Amino acid sequence: MASKHTIATRHAQGIRARFASRFLRSLLRVRRSSNRFGGSQSNDEGIGKRIRTDRIKIAAYAAMARAVGPRRTWSRALLFKLRNRARIHGVSRKRCLVSEKKRVTRNKVVAISREPSRADTLRKLVPGGDSMDTCVLLEETAHYIKCLATQVTVMQSIADRLLL
């Protein structure tokens, strides 16, 4: 376990830098796009357009997933989901909302109706967790938690710097 921990910390430095750069770039992109559409519009639209907060959140997750790379199951699943979402929202909103639901349910493991165990709850939280068995799920959860923590610290530091 000690060796695993040291490897994790070494990874954290790299991940943090990569995620920070990607996230800042995506933030700029979001800002530019919102400026283009005008401040009022981006916040007033209904279901179709994502409001800015969600855009930023998505940008953060996308940046994190890309920084991690396709090595991890959850990052691959996350990128796939985001790409589908982008494609869907680009094409047509109403029709594709329904199809997205279908797609999502199709991917899920068909479960007998039983009380959702803790592993199932975890599967819902971790992206791409449906198709993993418990052992792999725990490993992915560990990496996911680590990346989420770095994401939060980077975002917090960015926010602090920006506000002051």
Question: Does residue 71 sit in helix, strand or coil?
Answer: coil
**DSSP assignment of 98-138:** HHHHHHHHHHSPP--S----HHHHHHHHSTTGGG--HHHHH
Residue range at the interface with another protein (CB under 8 A); choices 47-55, 66-74, 81-89, 90-98: 47-55
Give yes or no for residue 53 binding another protein (CB under 8 A). yes
Using the rule CB under 8 A, which residue among 39, 48, 69, 70 binds another protein? 39
Give yes or no for residue 31 binding another protein (CB under 8 A). yes
Residue range at the interface with another protein (CB under 8 A); choices 75-83, 89-97, 106-114, 142-150: 142-150
Residue 58: Cβ-neighbour burial (10 angstroms; 0-12, 13-18, 19+): middle
Torsion of CA 153, 6, 144, 29, to 10 degrees: 50
What CA–CA distance (Å, rounded) separates 81 from 147?
18
Give yes or no for residue 152 binding another protein (CB under 8 A). yes
Give yes or no for residue 104 binding another protein (CB under 8 A). no
Give yes or no for residue 61 binding another protein (CB under 8 A). yes
* Interface positions with another protein (CB under 8 A): 1, 4-5, 27-28, 31, 35, 38-40, 42-44, 51-57, 60-61, 118-119, 121-122, 125-126, 134-135, 138-139, 141-142, 144-146, 148-149, 151-152, 155-164
